[in-house]
């Protein structure tokens, strides 16, 4: 009696799963004493059906046609409480039945529609120093060769995306391109009416620290905007504390040597840091604003 109660509960749960899984990648079809639940299933190419036998006797599931579908186990013979699955790779109409049961009780059908075309997109690295490049790569779900994919970019402060380049897909529908973001930039890939999810590459300003004379240093900051009027922080490395400590703040000024789109901000300053000490300069997040990450210079000896 307890077994029958548990079995009934299991059947109820499975039936509920069918409703919940209507838009999922796997749909459950329950084999009951009176047939399949549900009898008709609609899928997209790449989706699967899990057949679960809730009857007290074994059942076989036979699909027609067999082209474009893969089942496990094969043949799909299920003992009571056992499950097996079939994955449908191509758009078509299929039927399923139990060849060992006479009549039309154990009959069902599957309508498989073509999966919607999708685009993936990734970037590596996701953080670059100004002037650096990143590789955008992705794939078309159809895996077609020779598809023209537009790569778009929306730089920080812009309201609309601009087309950067068009690349053709190669074997497996993959594509890639090298891009050079000037500020934080959100990239998307587009093929006809299909677009990828955006991926954002973040940029740090390029800081170059140099020694121009005894206890005299220069700092050049390169970016696609001016940081004149912003404060950089000069630091020295404290070996005893094993950390960087602030020495002084220096005010950046405009510099006319930059070639568009690069803008140079620079400063020459003095410091009494003892000789042969590691030094660097940072440009904090508060100073760079929302279109860049905080910057950090090269390390030199005082």
Write the pLDDT tens digit of every residue in 2-55: 333 333 333 333 333 333 333 348 999 999 999 999 999 999 888 999 999 999
* Same domain membership, residue 274 and residue 198: no
- Our count of domains for the chain comes to 3
Q: Which residues, including other chains, have CB under 8 Å from residue 172's CB and lie 6 or more apart?
A: 139, 143
What percent of the chain is modeled with pLDDT above 70? 92
* Same domain membership, residue 209 and residue 193: no
* Same domain membership, residue 194 and residue 210: no
* Same domain membership, residue 214 and residue 134: no
214-245 pLDDT, tens digit per residue, is 999 999 999 999 999 999 999 999 999 999 99
> Domain range for residue 23?
2-113
* Same domain membership, residue 48 and residue 66: yes
* Same domain membership, residue 175 and residue 270: no
Asked if the model's pLDDT at residue 65 lies above 60, the reply is yes
* Same domain membership, residue 252 and residue 235: yes
Domain boundary among 66, 84, 113: 113
Count CB neighbours of 270 within 10 A.
Answer: 12
Where residue 85 falls among pLDDT bands split at 50, 70, 90?
very high
* Same domain membership, residue 105 and residue 30: yes
For range 78-88, the mean pLDDT: 96
Token match 């996701």: residue? Answer: 126
Domain boundary among 175, 203, 231: 203
Please give the distance of CA 87 from its chain centroid, rounded to a whole number. 25
121-172 pLDDT, tens digit per residue, is 999 999 999 999 999 999 998 889 999 999 999 999 999 999 999 999 999 9
The sheet with strand 107-113 has its strands ordered as 40-44, 107-113, 92-97, 59-64, 76-78
As given in the structure block, the two tokens for residue 137 are 């790569």
Domain boundary among 65, 94, 113: 113
Separation in Å, CA 160 to CA 137, 155, 185, 187, 268: 22, 9, 11, 11, 39
End-to-end CA distance of the chain: 86
Q: What is the mean pLDDT of the chain?
A: 91
For 17: left if phi > 0, alpha if psi spans -120 to 50, otherwise beta; the answer is alpha
108-119 pLDDT, tens digit per residue, is 999 999 878 889
E-strand stretches of 214-296: 216-223, 231-238, 243-251, 253-255, 263-270, 278-283, 295-296
* Same domain membership, residue 222 and residue 130: no
Where residue 104 falls among pLDDT bands split at 50, 70, 90?
confident
* Same domain membership, residue 107 and residue 53: yes
Name the nearest CA neighbour of 278 among 232, 255, 247: 247
pTM above 0.75, yes or no: no
As given in the structure block, the two tokens for residue 214 are 């005894």
Rounded Cα–Cα distance for residues 201 and 187 (Å)? 8
CATH number of 21's domain: 2.60.40.420
For range 266-277, the mean pLDDT: 96
Rounded Cα–Cα distance for residues 182 and 258 (Å)? 14
**C-alpha radius of gyration, the chain, whole number:** 32
CATH number of 273's domain: 2.60.40.10
* Same domain membership, residue 40 and residue 135: no
What percent of the chain is modeled with pLDDT above 90? 85
* Same domain membership, residue 213 and residue 264: yes
């Amino acid at each position: 009696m307890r077994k029958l109660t548990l079995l009934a509960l299991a059947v109820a749960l499975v039936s509920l799963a069918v409703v919940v899984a209507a838009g999922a990648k796997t749909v459950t079809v329950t084999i009951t004493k009176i047939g399949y639940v549900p009898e008709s299933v609609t899928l997209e190419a790449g989706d699967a059906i899990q057949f679960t036998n809730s009857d007290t006797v074994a059942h076989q599931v036979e699909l027609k046609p067999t082209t474009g579908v893969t089942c496990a186990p094969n043949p799909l013979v299920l003992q009571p409480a056992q499950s097996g699955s079939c994955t449908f790779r191509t758009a078509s109409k299929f039927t399923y039945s139990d060849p060992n049961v006479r009549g039309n009780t154990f009959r069902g059908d599957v309508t498989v529609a073509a999966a919607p075309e999708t685009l993936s997109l990734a970037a590596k690295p996701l953080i670059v120093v100004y002037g650096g490049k990143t590789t955008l790569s992705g794939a078309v779900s159809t895996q077609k060769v020779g598809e023209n994919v537009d790569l778009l970019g929306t730089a920080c402060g812009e309201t609309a995306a601009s087309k950067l380049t068009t690349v053709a897909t190669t074997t497996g529908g993959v594509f890639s391109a090298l891009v050079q973001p000037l500020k934080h930039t959100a990239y998307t890939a587009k093929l006809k009416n299909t677009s990828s999810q955006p991926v954002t590459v973040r940029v740090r300003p390029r800081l170059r620290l140099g020694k121009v004379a005894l206890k005299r240093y220069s700092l050049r900051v390169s970016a696609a905007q001016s940081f004149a009027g912003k404060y950089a922080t000069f630091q020295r490395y404290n070996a005893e504390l094993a950390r960087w400590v602030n020495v002084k703040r220096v005010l950046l000024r405009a510099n006319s040597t930059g070639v568009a789109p690069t803008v140079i901000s620079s400063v020459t300053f003095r410091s009494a840091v003892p000789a042969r000490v590691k030094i660097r300069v940072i440009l904090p997040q508060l100073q760079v604003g929302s279109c860049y990450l905080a910057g950090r210079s090269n390390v030199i000896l005082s």
